Chain A
Amino acid sequence: MINSIARYGLIFLVLILLQILLFNNIQFSGYVNPYVYVLFILLLPVEIPAWLMLILSFGTGLIIDVFSGTPGMHSSATLLAGFVRPYILRLISPRDGYQSGVNPSMLIYGVRWFLLYAGFIVLIHHTALFYLEVFRFTDFFRTMFRVLLSSFFTTTFILLLEFIRKGK
């Protein structure tokens, strides 16, 4: 128990630092902003109580908000991602269900499953985030383009990070 809290703490710290120090500084033509910290929400155990899930995702978003000077934006998007996660998990559950006591990672359920899972949640998160950022529906399709492009890059980086974790 303590062990797993420490492990999640470490993952959390690494992801937040990566996001703030590295990915927030990627400035590529104004379209691509990967938000890899979503990986933390993805990796939480399947049977985590829903209320804890919500509070953790809200907190994660809030910390990112503080460091990027955007109160509420990441909090609400990440909270939404945390809220829909159980439904997504149910939607794409593997044939023989989830094993207890493990986190939904690529190691256990395979790359294809993880890609689908990560892709879904990242897409929901980014849709909320980018539309909240612009806060208007003019240029609807351009914002959608930004959502799709950034989701693609975020999912790619998340996969990359998972491969690195797996390699360890």
Chain B
Amino acid sequence: MRNLLNFLAKYNNLLIFLILEGIAIFLLTTGNNYHNTRFVKGLRGLTRGIEERMSNVRSYFNLRDINESLAAENTALKNSIERLVRNEEVLFFSVSDSVYHQQYIYTDAEVTDNTINRQKNFFTLNRGKKDGLAVDLAVVTGNSVAGVIVTCSENYSVAMSLLNIDFRLSARIKSNGYFGSLSWDGRDVEHAILSEIPQHVTFGIGDTVETTGYSAVFPEGIMIGTISNFEKSGGDFFRIEVALMTDFRKIRFVKVIGNMMKEEQLELEKSFK
């Protein structure tokens, strides 16, 4: 007993260190991905006020760019209305109920907190379960990929940014339809890596890379970026560098896309896996 006490007295600092380090590692391994830990939930309530205020300040610096991107989006929308109106004239006699064919629903949201300087980046949206958001919905900005929602509370959601080394996305080269896996290598906020494209495929720098509809998260044909560089990597594949279309440094207004037929697709696919 005395030996034990002596031992404790001698190494008490080491013991404190080990205990506290144990707590820290426990927090790190259980809570690092925002996954609903009490700790994070409780504390995020505390810090949210500050975050929102900071985000407000930051948004003033970006107003010009935001205006420009909204104007561009407006133009695009007007163009598509124009096209739709023309279509309707052509299809005047056909009976089509668009409600039954609608696969994706869109909700707009605003980014209230965003990081880009980590290896695992997340951003927070000002909409939550109350607004119909749920885990695994796609987030796009303009018409390009931004992230995927990983957790929702009543009024807020946290999305995993494309700039996260755990993010994976099925993507294809628009010009030839070959698809591969897109991920971020943690290097550069403007580029991501498209892998698993076989070496016999021909494509050029500047070709568009877009989403496939395979994952049932993102709709088909959402822009990701353009090919900026490529090299042969081990095996028979290319390692393609994609210049991202989304500028994550000033991401602010986003759309959340829900896939109404996702359940059906997953259910069907499950029977083959």
Contacts and interface: CB of A to CB of B under 8 A. Distances in A.
Contact of A72 (B25, B34, B54): B25
Interface string B39-63: 1100110110010001000100000
A132 B39 CA distance: 19
B168 interface: no
A33 interface: yes
B24 interface: yes
A33 B117 CA distance: 7
A65 B37 CA distance: 14
A107 interface: no
A76 B26 CA distance: 10
B117 A70 contact: no
B165 A79 contact: no
Interface in B32-89: 32, 34, 37, 39-40, 43-44, 46-47, 50, 54, 58
A73 interface: yes
Interface string B1-37: 0000000000011001100110111111111101001
A29 B186 contact: no
A92 B269 CA distance: 64
Interface in B152-203: 165, 185-189
Contacts of B135: none
A47 interface: no
Contact of B12 (A20, A51, A71): A51
A54 B34 contact: no
Contacts of B50: 20, 67
Interface in A133-159: 133-135, 139, 142
Contacts of B23: 58, 72, 75
Nearest to B249: A27
B222 interface: no
Given A27-B189, A69-B34, A69-B122, A54 B40 contact: no
Contact of A54 (B13, B37, B115): B13
Nearest to B113: A69
Nearest to A54: B16
Contacts of A65: 27
B120 interface: yes
B71 to A, nearest CB: 25
A30 to B, nearest CB: 6
Given A70-B32, A71-B31, A142-B187, A76 B21 contact: yes
B117 A69 contact: no
Nearest to A28: B117
Given A71-B28, A72-B31, A73-B32, A55 B16 contact: yes
Interface in A28-59: 28-30, 33, 50-51, 54-55, 58
Considering residues A26, A70, A83, which has the most beta carbons from chain B within 10 angstroms of its beta carbon?
A: A70
Given A66-B43, A71-B32, A30 B24 contact: no
Interface string B105-140: 000000001011111101000000000000000000
Given A30-B188, A55-B20, A135-B32, 5 more contacts: A29-B189, A70-B118, A72-B31, A73-B28, A133-B118
